[in-house]
Structure 1
Amino acid sequence: MNSIKDVAALAGVSVKTVSRILNGYEGVSPKTAEKVDKAMKELEYYPSAAAQALKGVGAGIVSLITDSLTTTPYSYGIVAGIQDICEKNGLLLMIGETGGNMANFSKLVDDFRRQRAQAIILATVYHREVEITQAFKQCPLILVNCFEKNTTHPTILPDDEKGAFDATSHLISKGHTRIASLTLFEEMVATDLRLQGYKTAHKEHNIEIDNDLIRRGVFRDDNDEFVDLEDVLRELMALPNPPTAIMCGNDKMAMRVFMLVRGVMGYKIPEQISIVGYDNYKMIAENLVPKLSTVTLPYFSMGQLAAKLAISEDQTAETHKVSGEFVERLSILNKHN
């Protein structure tokens, strides 16, 4: 590898002059700085980040620790949002994955601290509780899509309750008063929050909540989590007063509901039954026929906020809820028409 001496020799200046330029000192003429820059590019020379950090030159590094965000298409927006802010502020984003094993979290924290990261962001694939045991007094920690039992770090969460409230309210505004809710697993934090939003919307519109319309839409099967979904749908449609709309726990579930309701059970969408998803996973939502109305999980905005907090001087331990947007497409019938 080329050294600072090689750069100085090619540029025809002293090693001290090159060092002054690398460390941002003034007093070097633009012409000399240009010669050094040209020499560095020609030799493909890059100063050691570790050496600069020892000299007190900020590395400008933000670190992201995830479970598997980079390989999870519908939640990759968190990474994109963080990267967006880092690029705008000239910061380097370093990413490490735990593979879902929090034991790897401690090792990654130590590794990133050795790199002199100015902040560490922990982001999870789904909304859940985590336990943080390390101290983060010098290098702040920001939590995204996850939370502690007692908040001790800045935390950014999707407003799942409001998302479900908005979706339910939209269906009610279109004349639907019999709305089924197909939920995800009970232990998932988002399940209870979205169900609360669904119920609050009914109460605010003075519509009685019918518990027969609330069913779990996923099942514990290694081969097919929707293995019994057809039975659930048939039970719903066999009710004396069946639903005119179905809210699904996510877009993946909505895709299966499309297949079963239309392809197997023979109902028309949205003429006979309206369908709403959750996630706005565009690969699904924009390719179903008709296109799926759904709620956006605000991952990109959450990532942006996380990066802004990471580089801010104020890292107050409070929870920030970010609202998603309800996206209406063609899977909802307006019953008022």
Structure 2
Amino acid sequence: MSSIKDVAIKANVSVKTVSRILGGFEGVSEKTRQRVKKAMEELEFYPSAAAQALRGQEKGVVCLITENLTTTPDSFDIIAGIQHECEKNKKLLMIGESGGSADSFSRLVDDFRRQRAEAIIFATVSHKEVKIKESFNKCPLILVNCYEKSLRHPTILPDDYLGALQLTEELIKHGHKHIAYLTLFNNMAATPLRIKGFQDAHAKAGLMVDEAAIREGVCDNKDDEFAELPQVLKDIMSRSERPTAICCGNDKMAMRVFMLIRQMGYKIPETISIVGYDNYKLIAENLLPKLTTVSLPYFDMGQIAAKIAINKELQSNTKIQEISGQLQLRGSHSFAKT
């Protein structure tokens, strides 16, 4: 790497002159300033961020710690939202992956603090509770898609309750009175919230919920999380009051249900409607018919988190902000005639 001395030699000036220019001091002719700038460009010299910070000239760095967001297509929009806001405010975004390791998280926090981060954002792939042992008195922490019970930090979460409520209301509006719900794991934070939305939509419409038709659609099989779906569907569809619609815990589950329900002789949406959750576009827009689902507001969540990271006045609000997704109405949810 080139040094300040290399720049001085190439520009034929003193090290002190280069230092004055980097420090933004007056008293250097424009001709000399341009000569030094040209030398810096040719030598690919960049002033130390730490040195600039000491002179009060730091650009501003926002840091993001994720578990596996960079390799998870349906969650990547969180990063896109953060990057959009950082770019708009001319902030540098630095990203580190913890892989879910508490030790890696601590190491990244230390590394980012050495980079004089204005704030650190921690985002997880799924909505869940986390435990943070580090203190963040000087460099604030913003949580995205995760939360602490103690609510020490600004927290941005998807409104899973509202998403399930609106999706179920849409099915009821289309005439469905018997709706099954295949959930994700019951111990996931989103599952009870979505079940509550599902139940409340029925209550608002004066309909009874068939609790036996609410089943886990996933299992602990490492090779195939949907390995038990065939039996679950067989049980549900063999009921005396069979459902005319099925809500799926996510779009990946809905894709499997599409295949299995057709193997059982049903047509979508003519004899049964299927809806998903997440709006994983690679799936939702390529199924036939296209999948009705609810988007997870990841881009908006990331953008709001970045705004908090950049604006110190917003950092004192440690309450949870719940962001609602949008219904994505396609062709898989129309009324199923019985």
| Matched residue SS, 2:80 | helix
Which residue number in structure 1 is paired with residue 205 of structure 2?
205
Which residue number in structure 2 is paired with residue 156 of structure 1?
156
Structure 2 residue 117 is the aligned partner of structure 1 residue 113 = no
| Matched residue SS, 1:252 | helix
Cα 1:9/1:103, change in 2 over 3 Å: closer
Which residue number in structure 2 is paired with residue 302 of structure 1?
301
| Matched residue SS, 1:95 | strand
Which residue number in structure 2 is paired with residue 322 of structure 1?
323
CA positional deviation for 1:18: 3.1
Cα 1:20/1:226, change in 2 over 3 Å: same
| Matched residue SS, 1:247 | strand
Which residue number in structure 2 is paired with residue 184 of structure 1?
184
CA positional deviation for 1:31: 5.1
Which deviates further from its counterpart, 93-102 or 296-305? 93-102
Which residue number in structure 1 is paired with residue 281 of structure 2?
282
Task: Provide, for residues 165-192 of structure 1, a one-character-per-residue CA deviation record: whole Å limited to 9, x for no partner.
Answer: 1111111111111111100111000000
Do 1:251 and 1:277's aligned partners in 2 also have CA atoms closer than 8 Å? yes
Cα 1:213/1:26, change in 2 over 3 Å: farther
Cα 1:205/1:30, change in 2 over 3 Å: farther
Which residue number in structure 2 is paired with residue 55 of structure 1?
55
Cα 1:31/1:318, change in 2 over 3 Å: farther
Counterpart of 1:169, as a letter, is E
Do 1:127 and 1:188's aligned partners in 2 also have CA atoms closer than 8 Å? yes
CA positional deviation for 1:15: 3.5
Aligned-residue Cα RMSD (Å) equals: 1.8
Distance 2:112 2:65 in 1: 10
Cα 1:18/1:180, change in 2 over 3 Å: same
Do 1:59 and 1:117's aligned partners in 2 also have CA atoms closer than 8 Å? no
Counterpart of 2:278, as a letter, is D
Which residue number in structure 2 is paired with residue 248 of structure 1?
248
Cα 1:27/1:251, change in 2 over 3 Å: farther
Task: Provide, for residues 80-126 of structure 1, a one-character-per-residue CA deviation record: whole Å limited to 9, x for no partner.
Answer: 11111111111111111111112221111111111111101111111
Which residue number in structure 1 is paired with residue 227 of structure 2?
227
Which runs of 5 or more structure 2 residues have no equivalent in the other structure? Answer: none
Structure 2 residue 75 is the aligned partner of structure 1 residue 75 = yes
Listed as ranges, the matches of 1:253-272 within 5 Å are: 253-262=253-262, 264-272=263-271
Cα 1:175/1:21, change in 2 over 3 Å: farther
Do 1:79 and 1:300's aligned partners in 2 also have CA atoms closer than 8 Å? yes
Cα 1:192/1:80, change in 2 over 3 Å: same
Task: Provide, for residues 31-72 of structure 1, a one-character-per-residue CA deviation record: whole Å limited to 9, x for no partner.
Answer: 554443332211111111122223333241111111111111
Cα 1:244/1:27, change in 2 over 3 Å: farther
Aligned length: 335
Do 2:273 and 2:335's aligned partners in 1 also have CA atoms closer than 8 Å? no
Distance 1:195 1:94 in 2: 37
Do 1:64 and 1:94's aligned partners in 2 also have CA atoms closer than 8 Å? yes
Distance 2:133 2:333 in 1: 47
Cα 1:12/1:202, change in 2 over 3 Å: same
CA positional deviation for 1:29: 5.7
| Matched residue SS, 2:312 | coil
Listed as ranges, the matches of 1:123-202 within 5 Å are: 123-202=123-202
Do 1:219 and 1:227's aligned partners in 2 also have CA atoms closer than 8 Å? yes
| Matched residue SS, 1:207 | coil
Which deviates further from its counterpart, 79-88 or 54-63? 54-63
Do 1:59 and 1:116's aligned partners in 2 also have CA atoms closer than 8 Å? no
Distance 1:19 1:55 in 2: 11
Distance 1:310 1:280 in 2: 27
Distance 1:149 1:299 in 2: 22
Distance 1:24 1:286 in 2: 53
| Matched residue SS, 1:57 | coil
Distance 2:134 2:232 in 1: 45
Distance 2:98 2:130 in 1: 13
Cα 1:180/1:28, change in 2 over 3 Å: farther
TM-score, normalization by structure 2: 0.94
- Percent of paired sites with the same residue: 61
CA positional deviation for 1:157: 0.4
Distance 2:176 2:26 in 1: 69
Distance 1:248 1:37 in 2: 59
